[in-house]
Amino acid sequence: MNDRFPPPARFAQRARVNADTAEALGLHGLHDDIRRLAYWSEAADALVWRTRWHTLVDWQPPRSKWFVGGTLNATETCLDQHLHTWRRNKAALIWEGEPMQGGRPQDTRTLTYQQLFDEVVRFAGVLRSLGVQTGDRVCLYMPLVPEAVIAMLACARLGATHSVVFGGFSAEALRDRIHDAGCKVVVTADGGARKGQVVHLKDTVDAALADPRTGCVQKVVVVRRTGHAVAMTAGRDVWWDDAMAQARPVTEAVAVDAEHPLFILYTSGTTGKPKGVVHSTGGYLTGVARSYRFVFDHKDEDIFWCSADVGWVTGHSYVVYGPLANGATVFLYEGAPVYPAPDRFWDIIERNRISVLYTAPTAIRTFMRLGDHHVRAHDLSSLRLLGSVGEPINPEAWRWYHDVVGGGRCPIVDTWWQTETGSIMASPLPGLTTAKPGSCMHPLPGVDLAVVRPDGHECAPDEQGLLVSRRPWPSMMRTVWGDDERFRQTYWVQLKDPVTGAPWYFTGDGARRDKDGALWVIGRVDDVVNVSGHRLGTAEVESALVLHKAVAEAAVVGRPDDVKGQGIVAFVTLKANQTPTEALKKELMAQVAAEIGSFARPDDVRWANALPKTRSGKIMRRLLRELATKGRVEGDMTSLEDFSAIAALQSED
Ligand code: WTA
């Protein structure tokens, strides 16, 4: 597999060559690559193109351009094409809201493809009337209601780039993201319903927009969801319904270049500032459309429920773009999985005859703890396939999912991928792969993943190494918004082809392949923690902590957690005149929730006289991780500078 990656021009020409012909022509070294590219070429043909591309890929690592010369509008693949078929009257979205106090016990809405199209083109008209043009950025800070999907697609209709910010993020986090992307319009709601409470989204938007750094925002559109009073700023804020009533629909979609940024999605990395991951239109849509079809074994009669919020990449790819590109019926649920009763999930599946469920290991482990009887009380015979995403699934949870939820009859697809990869990269294929519990099995067709040593040589079976992608793939991220150098530094400098020196994409994950070639992803090897499937940079949490006036220094590490996968432990040193108290611990936890969002709240804050550092002044996180996990340090401490720092922390237990 170490064949040299051919230059782009040859690629482009040969992509159309049938793999057998290639072999017959003696292009042995290129055989794999040609097959891979022929695969993507065929996958892209399933999209609706305005202008067909002339070159499959132009690959100048780390820069890739896919489907060069092609133009398209993503909504024509996701909506328009279905209007010419019987799917026009098929349900595109079936939405259920969390029951609200005083509201109906079951608040539901169904939108057919025609109805979804009508709403999208109308809202595109709203955005246009508010001054949004092709290339502008629009921020969405929404509950999981149909309007969130409508707004995303309406942006795409105009060639505007959406930046969805998860509704659990704080005003500060929202402000930074709006500022970084320079968003012109924010779409939000008066509130969202979660665990019987109202999440005050509009108030948070107001707080974010009070900061002069968000001066780029000209208009705010507000969906009425909860009906409680919110302040509307004259000249800036408009109600969704009022604007829709006056809008002129944009029936003619704006065709954009295949490389045009469809969206920006912020994700955590190893430094304090979240990265705006930029995804293209043509390549991204090809990746999600194809992977949805193959991994979830798409059937027209399916009701597909991906329980992720649209604020995360899973929601972008497998609530919106992947399923809709295939004309699937998507189920959306607004609320929390165990509210108002612990059997809420199973009740939803039974009532809606969900056939494919895609959720996260943390949810599965939560349900497992609540007990089998909640599941068994419901008829789940409509399920035919189960999916898992976001973190490694432990074999025990896998078996429970398989036996109790799936009744022993539904295959499980454990899908490995990332915000950066855009679409699923490794997964069993239902009906084709015999899955091993806890393994995402094999890279999908068209994808070339490898587990390598730091020098780039492939690991032996069962040897743990670093997970890389050695070849480009269409839905790969294109850059970090506004910081191309960071894109290069974060992903493309650590590992390279030992023969040619060509840079490889480093995932940040550790993994191993077993003797049968099955892939086992162990988890992050960088300073990123995965709490309940939410990615957080430890530096991000540390930055939030040091903003507190009492804090001198903070170091944050992950520790294993039975339900959440990982929990957060913060080691904090205080300024000279400060006293460590329980009240201060709570204050610091609240500080993180306020700066980032409550999902980032540390599980534990531990006081330290000093943090363990190497002689060059770097915090030794490995030691802190050991401390947080085992309560003591056993590893090598030879480069540690101030040993007393460790001694003090250890004696705490
Ligand atoms: C982890 C979510 C093991 C991994 C789609 C990755 C997984 C990070 C799996 C990306 C899986 C995701 N098995 N680990 N099936 N899926 N991960 O960007 O560490 O929120 O790097 O994308 O989640 O998280 P992100």
Tens digits of residue pLDDT in 597-610: 999 999 999 998 88
Strand partners, 132: none
CATH of residue 106's domain is 3.40.50.12780
Mean pLDDT of the chain: 91
The answer on 227 and 94 residing in a single domain is: yes
From ligand 1's centre to the CA of 417, what distance in Å? 5
Among 430, 404, 280, residue whose Cα is nearest residue 346 = 404
pLDDT band at 615 (very low <50, low <70, confident <90, very high): confident
From ligand 1's centre to the CA of 121, what distance in Å? 34
- List, in sequence order, every beta strand (DSSP E) within 410-516: 412-415, 449-452, 465-469, 479-480, 505-513
Asked if pLDDT for residue 80 goes beyond 80, the answer is yes
Among 292, 474, 502, residue whose Cα is nearest residue 389 = 292
What local confidence, expressed as pLDDT, does residue 626 receive? 87
Q: How far apart are CA 185 and CA 320, in angstroms?
A: 21
Question: What is residue 511's DSSP assignment?
Answer: E
From ligand 1's centre to the CA of 528, what distance in Å? 11
pLDDT 10s digits, 32-79 = 788 899 999 999 999 999 999 999 999 999 999 999 999 999 999 999
Instruction: Say if 523 falls within a structural domain.
Output: no
The answer on 93 and 233 residing in a single domain is: yes
CATH of residue 565's domain is 3.30.300.30
Instruction: Say if 394 falls within a structural domain.
Output: no
Q: Whose CA is nearest to atom 6 of ligand 1?
A: 418
Asked if pLDDT for residue 28 goes beyond 50, the answer is no
Q: Supply φ then ψ for residue 435, to 5 degrees.
A: -80, 150
Give me the amino acid identity at 31. H
Q: How far apart are CA 464 and CA 466, in angstroms?
A: 7
The answer on 16 and 155 residing in a single domain is: no
Strand partners, 91: 112
Tokens of 516: 């049968």
The answer on 318 and 183 residing in a single domain is: yes
**What number is the average pLDDT over the span 215-243?**
97
Ligand 1, residue 414: give the atom nearest the CA. 15
What local confidence, expressed as pLDDT, does residue 479 receive? 98
Enumerate residues lining ligand 1, CB below 6 A: 267, 312-314, 389-392, 414-419, 440, 507-509, 521, 523-524, 530, 535
The answer on 237 and 139 residing in a single domain is: yes
Instruction: Say if 576 falls within a structural domain.
Output: yes
Share of the chain above pLDDT 70, in %: 92
| 157 touches 126 (CB < 8 A) | no
| pLDDT: which is higher, 24 or 233 | 233
Asked if pLDDT for residue 3 goes beyond 50, the answer is no
From ligand 1's centre to the CA of 391, what distance in Å? 5
Q: Whose CA is nearest to atom 1 of ligand 1?
A: 391
- Please state, in angstroms and as integers, the Cα–Cα distance from residue 122 to each residue in 94, 187, 244, 456, following that order: 20, 15, 6, 51
Tell me how long the chain is: 653
Question: What is residue 248's DSSP assignment?
Answer: -
Domain end (from 308, 336, 364): 336
Q: How far apart are CA 590 and CA 602, in angstroms?
A: 9
Burial 547-569 (b: 16+ CB within 10 A, else e): ebebbebbbbbbbeeeebbbbbb
Q: Whose CA is nearest to atom 11 of ligand 1?
A: 416
Instruction: Say if 451 falls within a structural domain.
Output: no
Strands 197-199 and 192-194: antiparallel
pLDDT 10s digits, 12-23 = 344 444 445 544
Asked if pLDDT for residue 265 goes beyond 70, the answer is yes
What local confidence, expressed as pLDDT, does residue 640 receive? 67
Q: Which residue among 265, 414, 418, 520 has the greatest number of ligand 1 atoms within 8 angstroms of its CB, and so is best to mutate?
A: 418
Q: Which residue among 275, 530, 538 has the greatest number of ligand 1 atoms within 8 angstroms of its CB, and so is best to mutate?
A: 530
Residue with tokens 């239902």: 430
Structural domain count, the chain: 3
The answer on 127 and 1 residing in a single domain is: no
Instruction: Say if 507 falls within a structural domain.
Output: no
pLDDT 10s digits, 98-125 = 887 766 667 899 999 999 999 999 999 9
Instruction: Say if 222 falls within a structural domain.
Output: yes
Q: Which residue among 169, 277, 391 has the greatest number of ligand 1 atoms within 8 angstroms of its CB, and so is best to mutate?
A: 391
The answer on 195 and 319 residing in a single domain is: yes
The answer on 252 and 134 residing in a single domain is: yes
- List, in sequence order, every beta strand (DSSP E) within 416-464: 449-452
From ligand 1's centre to the CA of 363, what distance in Å? 15
Ligand 1, residue 508: give the atom nearest the CA. 21
The answer on 129 and 18 residing in a single domain is: no
Ligand 1, residue 427: give the atom nearest the CA. 15
From ligand 1's centre to the CA of 389, what distance in Å? 7
What local confidence, expressed as pLDDT, does residue 434 receive? 93
The answer on 227 and 332 residing in a single domain is: yes
Asked if pLDDT for residue 11 goes beyond 70, the answer is no
Q: Which domain holds residue 573?
A: 532-653
Largest CA distance in the chain: 78
Among 372, 389, 408, 363, residue whose Cα is nearest residue 563 = 363
What local confidence, expressed as pLDDT, does residue 104 receive? 63
Instruction: Say if 412 falls within a structural domain.
Output: no
Give me the amino acid identity at 445. P
The answer on 303 and 181 residing in a single domain is: yes
pLDDT 10s digits, 624-648 = 888 888 877 776 666 666 767 777 7
Share of the chain above pLDDT 90, in %: 79
Asked if pLDDT for residue 4 goes beyond 90, the answer is no
Tokens of 103: 């509201």
Instruction: Say if 480 falls within a structural domain.
Output: no
Give me the amino acid identity at 607. W
The answer on 128 and 9 residing in a single domain is: no
pLDDT band at 355 (very low <50, low <70, confident <90, very high): very high
pLDDT 10s digits, 298-350 = 999 999 999 999 999 999 999 999 999 999 999 999 988 888 899 999 999 99
Q: Which residue among 509, 512, 526 has the greatest number of ligand 1 atoms within 8 angstroms of its CB, and so is best to mutate?
A: 509
Among 352, 377, 368, residue whose Cα is nearest residue 403 = 368
